[in-house]
Structure 1
């Protein structure tokens, strides 16, 4: 299953590990909040709606950070942008440990989100431009599995800290440990080179034409993604991002609280149920990564999104025993992995070089802006319905949006990334045997 890794160059492998580490540490920092929501509610006597607001504001900030960092990556380079964003979100996560009230915590989480969104955008484009097209889906899908590694580390940390320390101290220690990702920049600076159009590892790069007059990035990269030649891709890609993030954050922000407050599981019990979902998420990313290069981006995303809708409905809206929920946690985590594991490759292949960072950052993170209402909606709906019902309805609607959006996008499997420098300057080139789908 991982035999492809031995076929890539040392530069590709180093870039892979840098992004894998970045995503794992991202997940560690971001999943801390969902695990400590009950402790924060108790400490500051805030409502579930106010707790949901923290998640929503963080997502909005991460969207703005991703769009900004994507444009910055088109200006100063992918690697330099990656380093800046890693340090920024790590320091902000650490600062959350010292918040003295709800308002301070809300501000610090907002800043953390801004850096987190930027790190994903820079890393996704770096990976897409470094890994050759024949392995791009597998590499980027596998990198997404790093999220489950960081998520699992956060759950283990949660179980350890809340077992050994009072809740009011444990959540602060968890955020303080969030400074660890900053250490990753030393590896990035030493081992990861900046990709250039001439060094991209696509099989057809040497044959790809350089359009006349397009050697430089657009003068307004933030607006370049709205050029007529790519406007449809931008709008539909953003819609896909809305559904993908809405489903994930509606589900994963509130699931630990649901397991603890409505299923009445202990700290260790909650950790056990989450462990099944996390292992399944890892497996889902790996399987999806191979499907991306085998059956294509569209078919993979459509399949996983429809199965997500079905699984969420059964898991949260049907009367199940705790044992049944434990078993169904595997398909829940497995299918939830497929959509985020696909987006990096798909979005990167929709845009030419000069605006690729901006396009990836916008599509992925616009989804975060709009999807920020989903955790808030869950908290609001839970006032009149059970928390499980609120999570299930919101997540199912979001995943249905993904299925609708992906039907409106072209198949991009096999597309090379060095074939155009500016939107509208040239028709995309395709690898032999991999024509675009209608």
Structure 2
């Protein structure tokens, strides 16, 4: 098929990188989303409130923000592949530990520590894929890698649904945390054969191995504006997406009074829609540009989400509508990786991407706890709607001021939307040493 010519033409290293990043995203999503399907069972077993449930999810996301920023700095210093491998070992180990917890507070601490590992996968993985693939196909490759999120979400829905349906609740939720070790071993095996990108190695040679990236790099004069606007974009998209994804199973069971099996089916439909949306966005992204496609998806998603939350419908219609809703709420994320990788220079790329994405993710994650808290007063449906629409407003505002970046050459550094020559890395390295 012509749509996959870019993959057939790719070099072996590009293909291995693609599958390593795709599987890593799938695993990250699986381990992260498992909790949303286990919350009702855990709330019943340990008797904690919606606000406390939201705090568990939020603590993990906030920790992921810190971990992602730190991982971005480490990646610019020591390499993309090395940092990604360490992150998988970290969050898989804490997933196993989570299965042994015996109280709300134990799980809260373990999930927060696990979140530190989640943060590395997005920014570092996106930069790795962006630096390896042909610029003409960057949107498609990164968008398809991002679709691994939907695959992980679907696996989380199916596996937790089966475990909760056929095993005693006390064993089922523990098994859901433990089972993540199997795909982790597969990902580690694939990543063993992925080299560091040539553009990264060239940057290291140009700087003589000098340390350029620090925590202050995201506020450098030439990138500060893009760092903050990108963070606002991610904040909006994350707030909207997490308000739906984390709280949807609980809302459907407690407000619509649907059984676990039906909720699992709806979540599976939504995750399938998410996959279709991300793949579709990936191809549209390369054809029509980053900004136009993202704006269209935000408007599309906001409209459908309103229908899903407020229009009365039977369970089967809810399940069917879950497909296009999933396309909207997660489709736009397929364009974040290409856009952010094209905004920042190689020597601080993952540092800036880690800052923008994870600051945005942490601010967006506040919607998870706030939905739970506000739901106590205005109801679950109204609370989800408020934070979804605030999120889309923030995303559209950021997209208004961000530049179009489609097809930029990553060997050139971007400064205030103008090319910045790689030779200037030597001067930066010298000033850093001084």
Fold shared, TM-score > 0.5 on shorter chain: yes
Partner residue in 1 for 2:33? 31
Partner residue in 1 for 2:427? none
Residues 297 and 342, structure 1, Cα contact 8 Å, conserved in 2: yes
Q: Find the partner of 2:329 among 326, 336, 340.
A: 336
Q: Deviations over 1:166-186 (max 9, x none)?
A: 222211110111223431454
Q: 1:218 to 1:306 in 2, by over 3 A?
A: farther
Residues 37 and 51, structure 1, Cα contact 8 Å, conserved in 2: yes
Report how many aligned residue pairs link the two structures. 420
* SS, match of residue 420 in structure 2: coil
Partner residue in 2 for 1:100? 102
Separation in 2 of the partners of 1:94 and 1:124? 26
Using the TM superposition, name which of 412-421 and 318-327 deviates more: 318-327
Q: Find the partner of 1:391 among 375, 384, 405.
A: 384
Partner residue in 1 for 2:176? 174
Partner residue in 2 for 1:55? 57
Q: Deviations over 1:313-347 (max 9, x none)?
A: 11112333333322221110011122211111111
Separation in 2 of the partners of 1:294 and 1:171? 43
Partner residue in 2 for 1:207? none
* SS, match of residue 272 in structure 1: helix
Separation in 1 of the partners of 2:163 and 2:205? 59
Q: 1:135 to 1:223 in 2, by over 3 A?
A: same
Partner residue in 1 for 2:426? none
Q: 1:2 to 1:384 in 2, by over 3 A?
A: same
Residues 353 and 422, structure 1, Cα contact 8 Å, conserved in 2: no
Q: Find the partner of 2:259 among 257, 266, 270.
A: 266
Q: Does residue 143 in structure 1 map to residue 136 in structure 2? A: no
Partner residue in 2 for 1:44? 46
Partner residue in 2 for 1:229? 222
Using the TM superposition, name which of 2-11 and 88-97 deviates more: 2-11
Q: 1:284 to 1:192 in 2, by over 3 A?
A: same
Shift of 1:211: 13
Partner residue in 2 for 1:412? 405
Residues 344 and 352, structure 2, Cα contact 8 Å, conserved in 1: yes
RMSD value, Cα:
2.2
* SS, match of residue 412 in structure 2: coil
The alignment's TM-score, normalised by the length of structure 1, stands at 0.91
Residues 77 and 211, structure 2, Cα contact 8 Å, conserved in 1: no
Separation in 1 of the partners of 2:111 and 2:47? 18
Separation in 2 of the partners of 1:212 and 1:116? 30
Partner residue in 1 for 2:163? 161
Separation in 2 of the partners of 1:190 and 1:22? 13
Partner residue in 2 for 1:402? 395
Partner residue in 2 for 1:372? 365
* SS, match of residue 199 in structure 2: coil
More helix by share: 2
Separation in 2 of the partners of 1:167 and 1:270? 17
Q: Is there any run of 5+ residues in structure 2 with no aligned partner, and where?
A: 423-434
Q: Does residue 315 in structure 1 map to residue 308 in structure 2? A: yes
Partner residue in 2 for 1:9? 11
Q: Deviations over 1:14-60 (max 9, x none)?
A: 00000111111111111110000001111111000000011111110
Separation in 1 of the partners of 2:418 and 2:386? 44
Shift of 1:421: 9.4
Separation in 1 of the partners of 2:421 and 2:12? 28
Q: 1:264 to 1:2 in 2, by over 3 A?
A: farther
Partner residue in 1 for 2:279? 286
Separation in 2 of the partners of 1:73 and 1:365? 15
* SS, match of residue 96 in structure 2: helix
Separation in 2 of the partners of 1:390 and 1:134? 41
Partner residue in 2 for 1:297? 290
Shift of 1:415: 0.2
Shift of 1:104: 0.9
Q: Does residue 381 in structure 1 map to residue 383 in structure 2? A: no
Residues 291 and 300, structure 1, Cα contact 8 Å, conserved in 2: yes
Partner residue in 2 for 1:433? none
Q: 1:252 to 1:398 in 2, by over 3 A?
A: same
Separation in 1 of the partners of 2:210 and 2:356? 19
Using the TM superposition, name which of 216-225 and 31-40 deviates more: 216-225
Separation in 2 of the partners of 1:283 and 1:354? 34
Residues 213 and 348, structure 2, Cα contact 8 Å, conserved in 1: no
Residues 200 and 346, structure 2, Cα contact 8 Å, conserved in 1: no
Partner residue in 1 for 2:342? 349
